[in-house]
Amino acid sequence: MPAHSRTHPILRAEQGTIYHRASSEMVLCYPNNYRVAGASLGYQVVYNALNSRQGLSCQRAVLPDDAFELTWRGPLRSLEHGMPLGGFDVVLFSIAYELDLPHLAWMLEAGGMAPLAMDRSDKAAPVIVGGPLTQSNVLPLGPFVDVVVMGEAEEALEVLLDRLESGMPKPDFLKALSTEKGFWVPSIHGDAIPDVLVARGAHIPARGVWTSPDAEFRDMALLETSRGCPRYCKFCVVRAPASPMRSPELDRVVSALDEGIYRDAPRVGFVGAAVSDWPHIKGALQAAIDRGKGIGISSLRADRLDETFVGLLHQGGYRTLTVASDAASERLRRQIMKGLRPKHFLRTAELARAVGMKQMKLYLMIGYPDERPEDYQELYELCETISSRIPLVVTISPFVPKLHTPLAEAPFEQIASQMRKLKAIQKRLRRRVEVRFDSPRWAWIEYRLSQGGMATGMAAWEAFRRGGQFSAYKRAFRALDSDQESEERAAVQAAMKHNLWALSGAR
Ligand code: SF4
């Protein structure tokens, strides 16, 4: 039961909430809404780790659904006990996505804190950030935060908490952290970003803490199967050189199913960048099904599927089979080292149909360098053949070059050119295939935040305050380009200056 009259009503339906209080109080924020926050296993893991530490408690705060409506009434408060952000000893964020950066600044302001680090006093709570975005470009976060924990935070968390417990003044705390591995302190390091941390296998599998009917994966308890990936796709920040595959034995995952939130959860979500590459995945699916659970999987590779695998997915409640082709043709997939062939997708369609699934979804990106008309011709033929076997939905995103990947310096294709390609795909496939796509305009904003420096973060915040429409971002970034010539690729230049390429195998 909620422990306080200020407890947010959304927690009434949540299982696994931690309400305890302690002498040192932290808040762990997610710069998106509760639905999205609940889909982050990393967010749940840090929440649990902080609450497990003696003398410390951690509450959560998320972006309210009505944050940008007239109905919004501040201040922003924690979910568990309704405390304003400014009342906590430490404010932490987990951030996954570039476009959430302005939300982070908004949450600080709405919680009664100055959004810019330079405007906060030495007495104000330190603002500390981690999460998946730290695998890529963190420079735009610099103006807003005091510390960034780079990469996988399990081991760094112990160092961080030891330093916090020592009770030193904030300037000394920041100085001390700046000498530790994996901590970026923007006020001390400037644009010299430290290497990303890679956690030991002992922390795997990470376990979820709560389930909720209001989370994106409804009533699903999340459980990690593996960390990192054994593959080398050139666009991906989780590729093997940066994040090698670490995977537990089957019994460690299966035994978790009989403990904690998994016992009562109606559904279990197996999480990892490369779940279908984990050799024990079928055993884990079978174990969950034997316990009467529905199942979910965060990633499926078409060339890893067979009758047994797809049959288990169907038994576990799957009615749509989603796989990523990531590029329009086999030629392009070879270039980006995706290594999948049309036959793998056709086989997936046959397997899905054979077990009685309702549809197949194919995900891909457009806008790679050197795309040719024949690549799209191959895509059309593939989609038409698949759709003759099973209803098909194609979801398309613009390719956004990410830092610390071999394609980091690739251009972002002009928005107008991407729109032409998307319209052509829709026109050609509209009778047979449902085509959905992400906006190239917002992908361009993501690109600028993926590649820019601290000034880009400031420009994004300015655009957000001016209404947050695409036109506001365009104006803010264009103004930046005329002021500071090198800002568009500031992160790539900083990475080269400080020799950050070695880590990702990108050089
Ligand atoms: S795209 Fe998927 S398969 Fe490729 S490196 Fe990334 S996680 Fe691995």
| Structural domains of the chain in order of their starting residue, each with its CATH number | 9-189 (3.40.50.280), 222-299 (3.30.750.210), 304-439 (3.30.750.200), 452-507 (no CATH)
* DSSP state, residue 85: G
The minimum-distance atom of ligand 1 relative to the CA of 277 is 3
ipTM of the predicted assembly exceeds 0.90: yes
- For residue 118, count other CB atoms closer than 10 A to its CB: 9
* Cβ pair 157, 197 in contact under 8 A: no
Helix, strand or coil for residue 397? strand
The minimum-distance atom of ligand 1 relative to the CA of 240 is 5
Q: Is the torsion defined by CA of 478, 479, 484, 489 positive or negative?
A: negative
Give which of 72, 78, 66 is closest to 27, Cα–Cα.
78
* Closest Cα to atom 7 of ligand 1: 273
**Reported confidence tier of residue 101, pLDDT bands at 50, 70, 90:** very high
d(CA 132, CA 144) in angstroms, rounded, equals 18
Pocket test residue of 229, 322, 323 for ligand 1, highest count of atoms within 8 A of CB? 229
183-184 and 147-149: which strand pairing? antiparallel
d(CA 36, CA 100) in angstroms, rounded, equals 11
Q: Tell whether the model's pLDDT for residue 142 goes beyond 90.
A: yes
Return all residues near 47 (Cβ < 8 A) that are at least 6 apart. 18, 28, 58, 60, 209
Pocket test residue of 239, 364, 400 for ligand 1, highest count of atoms within 8 A of CB? 239
pLDDT tens-digit map of 213-234: 999 999 999 999 999 999 999 9
The contacts found for 168-173 with CB under 8 angstroms, 24 or more apart, are 169/122, 170/122, 170/123, 170/124, 170/126, 170/146, 171/122, 173/126
Q: Tell whether the model's pLDDT for residue 32 goes beyond 50.
A: yes
Return all residues near 199 (Cβ < 8 A) that are at least 6 apart. 151, 152, 153, 154, 155, 227, 246
- State in Å: Cα 185 to ligand 1 middle: 30
- For residue 12, count other CB atoms closer than 10 A to its CB: 12
Q: Stretch 406-415: mean pLDDT, rounded?
A: 95
* DSSP state, residue 423: H
Calculate what percentage of the chain has a pLDDT beyond 90. 87
Q: Is 364 in the pocket of ligand 1 (CB under 6 A)?
A: no
- pLDDT value of residue 497: 80
Return all residues near 430 (Cβ < 8 A) that are at least 6 apart. none
Helix, strand or coil for residue 9? helix
Q: Which amino acid is at 124?
A: A
* Cβ pair 23, 112 in contact under 8 A: no
Helix, strand or coil for residue 151? strand
Cis peptide upstream of residue 75 (ω within 30 degrees of 0): yes
Q: Is 233 in the pocket of ligand 1 (CB under 6 A)?
A: yes
d(CA 331, CA 372) in angstroms, rounded, equals 10
pLDDT tens-digit map of 270-325: 999 999 999 999 999 999 999 999 999 998 999 999 999 999 999 999 999 999 99
- State in Å: Cα 457 to ligand 1 middle: 28
Q: Is 333 in the pocket of ligand 1 (CB under 6 A)?
A: no
- pLDDT value of residue 1: 47
Give the DSSP H/E element, type plus range, for residue 474: helix 470-483
pLDDT tens-digit map of 168-218: 999 999 999 999 999 999 999 999 999 899 988 788 999 999 999 999 999
Hey, what are 208's tokens? 């979820």
| HEC readout, 237-300 | CCCCCCCCCECCCHHHHHHHCCCHHHCCCCEEEEECCCHHHCCCHHHHHHHHHHCCCEEEECCC
d(CA 278, CA 297) in angstroms, rounded, equals 12
Orientation of helix 307-315 relative to helix 281-290, angle to 10°: 30
pLDDT tens-digit map of 104-138: 999 999 999 999 999 999 999 999 999 999 999 99
Give which of 402, 40, 444 is closest to 233, Cα–Cα.
402
Hey, what are 497's tokens? 């200056």
The minimum-distance atom of ligand 1 relative to the CA of 299 is 2
Pocket test residue of 236, 247, 301, 305 for ligand 1, highest count of atoms within 8 A of CB? 236
Determine whether 55 is exposed, middle or buried from the number of CB atoms within 10 Å of its CB (0-12, 13-18, 19+): exposed
- pLDDT value of residue 503: 46
- State in Å: Cα 273 to ligand 1 middle: 7
* Cβ pair 184, 147 in contact under 8 A: yes
- pLDDT value of residue 240: 82
Q: Tell whether the model's pLDDT for residue 507 goes beyond 60.
A: no
* DSSP state, residue 433: E
Q: Tell whether the model's pLDDT for residue 485 goes beyond 70.
A: no
Q: Is 236 in the pocket of ligand 1 (CB under 6 A)?
A: yes
The minimum-distance atom of ligand 1 relative to the CA of 232 is 5
pLDDT tens-digit map of 418-454: 999 999 999 999 999 999 999 999 999 999 999 999 9
